Amino acid sequence: MKKLTIKRVILLACIICGMQTIQAECYLLNDATSYQIQNGWSTKFDKTFTIATPGPGNRLTFNFSKNSFGVGGVTVIATYQDNTSETLLSKGTSSSYDIPLNNKILSQLLFKADGNTPPTLSKTISNVKVTQAKLITSSSPQLVFNTLKVEQEQEKTTTITYSNVGNATLQLNANTSGYFSITQGGTQGATCSATQTVKIKYAPLLAGTHTAVLNVSDGVSSVAVPLEGSCIKYVQTIDWHISSMLSSKTEHTDIAVASSGLPLEYVSSNPDVVAVENGVLKAKSAGEATITATQLGTYYWEAVSSTKTITVVDKEVQTITWEQDLFRLTEDASPITLTAMASSGLPVRYESTNTAVVSVNG
C-alpha cells in the first residue's frame, strides 16, 4: 500500500507540472568572473557593468574579498534607464551581498573601491548577478472610451510588457454588459522579455456607463487594467404641422411628426375645445387648448415631448398667399399691381407703414 500511495502522488505531481510552463530564472547580468578593483595603496580599478538589454531588476548579488590588512570596502552605484543614479552600497566590507533593486529599469552598475590597501594586497568582486524581476505591466493604467451612441463602437490599445514570466493569458473580468471584447492579443509563452499589443473593443447596445477589467496573468505576476465606456441614445425632435389657429368643427390628420419616424401620443389640456382621437385632431368648439405630443423613446432613441397651443374660432380661418418679390423695387419705378390672394376669395386690403417710401393706391 505504501508504494501505491507514492506512485499516486508522483503521478499527480507530474500532471500538475504538465499544466503550467514555469519560466527558468532570467538574469540581466550573470558574470562569474573575478575582478580586481584595487591593488596596492592607491591603484584602483573601477568596474562598470553595462546591461545589454535594460530591464526591471529584482536583486543584485555578488561576492567581495580583501586582504585582512586592507582598509575600506566597496561602493556600488546603479544607473537606471531614466538616467538617474542611486548608491546601493557604500564602503561595504562583507564577503557577500544580496541587494533588492525594487523593479527599477537598470542600465548600468559601477563598483568602486574605497580606502587604502597595503602594497601588493588587493580587493576583489566576483559572481556578479542581477536577477530579472517577475513582472507584467501595461502602458495604460486605465482605458477610458469616448462617449458613444447606441450601436457605435470604438477600439483602444495598450501595450503589455512581460518580464521573466511563465505562460500568460488575457482575460476580461466583470464584463457584465458583454460590450467589451479582446480583438487583438492572446496567450504569451514563457519568456524573459516580450511586449504584446492588446486591442479592446467597446460596442454598447444600451445607454449607460459600462465597466470591465482586462486581467493579464501567468499565475505569479499579473496586471489589471480597468475599462470604462459610456453610451447615450440618439436625440429625436418633434416638428408640428398643425396650425395654431383652427376653425371649429374641423378635423386634421397631419398633426406632428417625430424625427425618428416613431409614432406620437397626444394629450389635450381641454378636450372640449380640441381632442385627439386615433391620430385625428378634432377642433370642437371655440376656445384654447394646449396639445402635448410625446414619443416615448426606445433603446436607441431618447424620449421627447413638445407642446403647441391651439386657438379654435367659430369663424372659418382664412390665409393669405402672396408670392410677389417686392424686395427689388427701385425709386421712381413704374407702379406695380399687387397680387396677394385670400383663401376665402375675398378682396385683400393693402396698407403701407411708411407712405414716404412706398404708397398704396386703390
Q: What is the CATH number of the domain that holds 203?
A: 2.60.40.10
**The pLDDT of residue 6 is above 80:** no
Tell me, yes or no, whether 300 lies in a domain: yes
- Give the three-class secondary structure for 43: strand
Tell me, yes or no, whether 12 lies in a domain: no
- Give the three-class secondary structure for 350: coil
- DSSP for 226-271, written as a single string: EEEEEEEPBP--EEE-S-SEEETTEEES--EEETT----EEEES-T
For residue 9, give the amino acid letter: V
| Cβ count near 262 (within 10 Å) | 15
Higher pLDDT, 75 or 6: 75
Higher pLDDT, 354 or 195: 195
161 and 222 part of one domain: yes
Closest CA to 200 of 150, 145, 162: 145
Q: In percent, how much of the chain has pLDDT > 70?
A: 90
* CB 199 within 8 Å of CB 172: no
Examine the fold and report which residue of 202, 232, 262 is the final residue of a domain before the chain moves on: 232
Residue in the block written with cell 385625428? 280
Average pLDDT over residues 330-345: 83
219 and 263 part of one domain: no
Tell me, yes or no, whether 8 lies in a domain: no
55 and 92 part of one domain: yes
User: What pLDDT digit, counting tens, does each position of 54-66 carry?
Assistant: 889 999 999 999 8
* pTM greater than 0.85: no
**The pLDDT of residue 356 is above 90:** no
30 and 59 part of one domain: yes
Cα–Cα dist 295/261, whole Å: 10
User: What pLDDT digit, counting tens, does each position of 46-103 carry?
Assistant: 999 999 988 899 999 999 998 766 677 899 999 999 999 999 999 999 999 999 999 9
Could you tell me the CATH number of the domain that includes residue 264? 2.60.40.1080
| Cβ count near 44 (within 10 Å) | 18
* CB 210 within 8 Å of CB 144: no
102 and 117 part of one domain: yes
Examine the fold and report which residue of 232, 265, 280 is the final residue of a domain before the chain moves on: 232
Tell me, yes or no, whether 329 lies in a domain: yes
- Give the three-class secondary structure for 347: coil
Closest CA to 128 of 44, 72, 50, 67: 50
Three cell numbers at 186?
492572446
224 and 166 part of one domain: yes
Tell me, yes or no, whether 13 lies in a domain: no
194 and 113 part of one domain: no
Tell me, yes or no, whether 14 lies in a domain: no
Q: Domain of 67?
A: 24-132
* CB 296 within 8 Å of CB 265: yes
* CB 274 within 8 Å of CB 237: no
**The pLDDT of residue 117 is above 80:** no
Average pLDDT over residues 335-348: 86
Three cell numbers at 294?
410625446
Tell me, yes or no, whether 1 lies in a domain: no
**The pLDDT of residue 9 is above 70:** no
Tell me, yes or no, whether 17 lies in a domain: no
34 and 124 part of one domain: yes
128 and 28 part of one domain: yes
126 and 144 part of one domain: no
Examine the fold and report which residue of 113, 132, 151 is the final residue of a domain before the chain moves on: 132
Banded pLDDT at 116 (limits 50, 70, 90): low
31 and 78 part of one domain: yes
Cα–Cα dist 180/231, whole Å: 13
Average pLDDT over residues 133-151: 96
Give pLDDT, residue 246: 94
Banded pLDDT at 346 (limits 50, 70, 90): confident
Cα–Cα dist 23/166, whole Å: 5
225 and 297 part of one domain: no
Could you tell me the CATH number of the domain that includes residue 64? 2.60.120.260
Q: How many domains does the chain have?
A: 4
Cα–Cα dist 232/19, whole Å: 45
